[in-house]
Amino acid sequence: MRKATNTPTESNIESQTNPIPKLTKKGQATRARIVAAAAKLMYERGVAGTSVEDVQQEAGVSSSQLYHYFKEKRELVLAVILFQNEQVLGSQEPLLSHLDSMEALQSWRDALVLYQTELGFQGGCPIGSLGSELADLEPAARRELAAGFAQWEMAIRRGLRAIYDRGEMRSDAQPEQLALALLAALQGGLLLAKVRKEAGPLEAGLDAMLDHIRSYLIETSAK
């Protein structure tokens, strides 16, 4: 019998933030510009290093405009987390939606390494960076970050589960645990690659996990 684990489900990864009130098209554009500006600054400087005035200047809005959409910085931070969740996961499509073979997993790995290389290993993971700064300080922010990571983990798990359900993995494989471990290897690799300014840690972490996943493949399906 497999050990029960606390893994995300489709029903428990919903965002905890209140719905955005209905806005005019102009209002939506202004709000989006503010959030994008805040996300850029918080990614570069951190949340603590980004003031409301900095965001106001970067977005090119007045103080009254900014406070019309966000009553306090905390609300803006939550909006940035949602923005980064969407950006990070969206940037990996369509690869992330079809991780149902070792070839697809390898292509996803290669794309992640190439993207970080092109960035010069600056910044690391936007979600991970926010998590490092906020998880112990802001419960609401932690929940939003956890939801973002859970969506990421769920996408990986769906691919591994598809391989398992096709009978291409040994019966003792645990797609849920493998998905979580792969995401953890990715996050650790991104952090070390950021610090060392080289792809080696990211490649090592991802390659080790992909080799581990391959070890569960039934020989006739191994590539």
DSSP 8-state symbol, 217: B
Pair 174, 85 in one domain:
yes
Of the residues 30, 50, 71, which one is the last residue of a structural domain?
71
185-201 CB burial, b ≥16 within 10 A, e <16:
bbbbbbbbbbeeeebeb
Assign residue 195 a region (left: φ > 0; alpha: ψ between -120 and 50; beta: otherwise).
Answer: alpha
Distance CA(105)–CA(132), nearest Å, equals 27
N residues, the chain: 223
Q: What is the pLDDT of residue 21?
A: 63
Average pLDDT of each block of 10 consecutive residues along the chain (223 residues)?
50 50 86 97 96 97 95 96 96 94 97 95 93 95 96 97 97 98 98 96 98 91 44
* Residue 8 within any structural domain of the chain: no
* Residue 6 within any structural domain of the chain: no
Owning domain of residue 133: 78-221
Say if residues 105 and 169 touch (Cβ distance below 8 Å).
Answer: no
Q: What is the pLDDT of residue 215?
A: 97
Indicate which CATH number applies to the domain containing 214.
1.10.357.10
DSSP 8-state symbol, 10: T
* Pick from 83, 76, 74: nearest CA to 61: 76
Pair 140, 212 in one domain:
yes
Number of domains in the chain: 2
Q: What is the pLDDT of residue 220?
A: 59
* Residue 203 within any structural domain of the chain: yes
Contacts of 69 (CB under 8 A, 6+ apart): 27, 30, 31, 34
* Residue 4 within any structural domain of the chain: no
Q: CA–CA distance from 171 to each of 2, 107, 165, 182 (Å)? A: 11, 25, 10, 19
Pair 156, 215 in one domain:
yes
Of the residues 40, 55, 71, which one is the last residue of a structural domain?
71
Q: What is the pLDDT of residue 11?
A: 44
